[in-house]
Structure 1
Amino acid sequence: MTHILLVEDDPAIAMSLKVTCKREGWQMTWLDNASSVLPMLHSNDAQDLSAIILDVGLPDGDGLSLCQQIRHTPDIGRLKDIPVVFLTARSDEVDRILGLEMGGDDYCAKPFSPRELVARLKAIWRREQLLFEQSAATATVTEATENANQHVSARSSGSTPAHHLSGQALSFECQSGIWHYQPLNYSLMWQDTKLELSNTERKILLTLLQAPNQVFSREQLLNAVSDYPDHRLARTIDSHIKSIRKQLAIVDPSRDVIYTHRGLGYALCPA
């Protein structure tokens, strides 16, 4: 069953969303304060969570900072990468950008329709599934090519080729290096090092990996990570790219993996 965590201090909003989730056949856990969230995520009750709906203005803390805490808490496993949708009365552009830069996946300004929020959650999951399927297709081609090359090498050397990929891991190989994606825990690795990325940043990088030689505009990248591109600002892509570059530089500071094509967009640097 789909399990949603709602962190919201307004009982009326919580009850409305609880009814909507029940109609969808979803389970909803409701917390009305920030301090209970991380302990809940460490508990067994959180292991089947599918998303977090997080109010920005909580009585005991800032929802934006709480999201950042979640993103940087490695001991909660896959839950640190769980989709987060913000609820807030703030509608200013700066606040929207800040929420997305803090690691949020989408944003609903109050007042909002519960049905719209459900649609946004489904859109996030749809995008995750699409990226997984595209990644799997790319990995299948890569693995088939590698296996063929290993078979030829084995025939000439008399040795047995080693299968270096597990059944679930996905592999990308291009001029920028070797990448591995593990969909079970949303782990994306470059040069055998795990990258600490938000959901949106991981989706952007996976999109670039689908076509390493293609230049993607900001609008195309927004379309790739959201079914509601008008709801999110194209300039946020620049911030996410900057954050991705920082993570890549930790692995190898001598290489510029993502290249900026001025006036056009971004692509994986082939060199």
Structure 2
Amino acid sequence: MTHILLVEDDPAIAMSLKVTCKREGWKITWLDNASRVLPMLHSDAAQDLSAIILDVGLPDGDGLSLCQQIRHTDGIGNLKDIPIVFLTARSDEVDRILGLEMGGDDYCAKPFSPRELVARLKAIWRREQLLSQQPDLSTGLDDTDNGSVSNETQGQALTFDGPSGIWHYQPLNYSLTWNDTKLELSNTERNILLTLLQAPNQVFSREQLLNAVSDYPDHRLARTIDSHIKSIRKQLAAIDASIDVIHTHRGLGYALCPA
């Protein structure tokens, strides 16, 4: 059964979402403050969680900081990568950008329709399922120019071997490694890299990358891609600073460099 963790201090919003989730056949656990979230994620009750709906403004903490803690907390296994959707009453674009940069997968601005939130969750899971199947990742790749792709276990694992290094993606636990080192990526950062890997040397605009990682892209937030690329580059440089893996094409976008 789909299990949602809702962190929201407004009982009216919580009750509305609980009714909507029940109609979907989903289980929902409601917490009304930030302090109970990490202990819950460390408990057995969290092992079947499918997503977290996280209010930005909580009475005992900041939902943005809590998201960052979840993304960097040891001991919670794959829950570090669990989809997170923010609920925010803040209309400021900076706050929404900050939420996505801190590891959020999407957001709903209050007031919102519970049906819209359900649709956004389904869209996130659909993208994850498509990534796990990886049906088109080898399309258009040339073994001589761009490297080679091999499915070690069809639908489960993929390896890309090119001049920029060896990439391995394991969709069973959403693990992406570069040259035998696991990258600690948010869902959005991982999906950006996987999109770039689909077509080495192809220049992807910010809008194209935003469309690839969100079924509900807000093109005013396209510049968040720059922050995600910066974060990805920082991790890659810590592994091997001698390789310029992602190249910026000024005024156009980004491409994965094979050399």
For 1:12, the equivalent position in structure 2 comes to 12
For 1:52, the equivalent position in structure 2 comes to 52
* Contact 2:207–2:219 under 8 Å retained in 1: no
**Residues 1:141 and 1:267: Cα distance change in structure 2 (over 3 Å):** closer
Aligned length: 253
- String of CA shifts for 1:216-247, please: whole Å, max 9, x gaps: 10010011000111266110000000000001
CA distance in structure 1 between the aligned counterparts of 2:252 and 2:222, rounded to whole angstroms: 12
Q: Which runs of 5+ in 1 are unaligned?
A: 143-148, 150-162
CA distance in structure 2 between the aligned counterparts of 1:21 and 1:231, rounded to whole angstroms: 29
Range with bigger deviation, 92-101 or 180-189: 180-189
Give the TM-score, by structure 2 length: 0.92
For 1:220, the equivalent position in structure 2 comes to 208
Range with bigger deviation, 237-246 or 175-184: 175-184
**Residues 1:107 and 1:222: Cα distance change in structure 2 (over 3 Å):** same
The AA in structure 2 aligned to 1:71 is: R
* Contact 2:139–2:198 under 8 Å retained in 1: no
The AA in structure 2 aligned to 1:110 is: K
**Residues 1:260 and 1:182: Cα distance change in structure 2 (over 3 Å):** same
Q: Which runs of 5+ in 2 are unaligned?
A: 142-147
The AA in structure 1 aligned to 2:181 is: T
The AA in structure 2 aligned to 1:239 is: S
The AA in structure 1 aligned to 2:179 is: Q
Per the TM alignment, residue 52 of structure 1 is displaced from its structure 2 partner at its CA by 0.3
The AA in structure 1 aligned to 2:245 is: V
The AA in structure 1 aligned to 2:171 is: P
1:197 to 2:197 alignment: no
Q: Which structure's residues are more often helix, by fraction? A: 1
Q: Which of 131, 153, 157 is 1:169 aligned to?
A: 157
**Residues 1:74 and 1:165: Cα distance change in structure 2 (over 3 Å):** farther
The AA in structure 2 aligned to 1:76 is: I
* Contact 2:101–2:224 under 8 Å retained in 1: yes
Per the TM alignment, residue 175 of structure 1 is displaced from its structure 2 partner at its CA by 2.2
1:265 to 2:253 alignment: yes
* Contact 1:3–1:29 under 8 Å retained in 2: yes
Superposed CA RMSD in Å reads 2.2
**Residues 1:164 and 1:22: Cα distance change in structure 2 (over 3 Å):** closer
Equivalent pairs: percent with the same residue?
86
Per the TM alignment, residue 74 of structure 1 is displaced from its structure 2 partner at its CA by 2.8
The AA in structure 2 aligned to 1:229 is: P
The AA in structure 1 aligned to 2:4 is: I
1:74 to 2:111 alignment: no
* Contact 2:132–2:172 under 8 Å retained in 1: no
User: 3-state DSSP class of the match of 2:111?
Assistant: coil
- String of CA shifts for 1:54-110, please: whole Å, max 9, x gaps: 001111111000000000013211100111000011010111111111110101111
For 1:62, the equivalent position in structure 2 comes to 62
For 2:228, the equivalent position in structure 1 comes to 240
Indicate the structure (1 or 2) with the bigger Cα radius of gyration: 1
User: 3-state DSSP class of the match of 1:25?
Assistant: coil
Give the TM-score, by structure 1 length: 0.88
CA distance in structure 2 between the aligned counterparts of 1:209 and 1:231, rounded to whole angstroms: 23
* Contact 2:166–2:178 under 8 Å retained in 1: yes
* Contact 1:261–1:267 under 8 Å retained in 2: yes
The AA in structure 2 aligned to 1:74 is: D
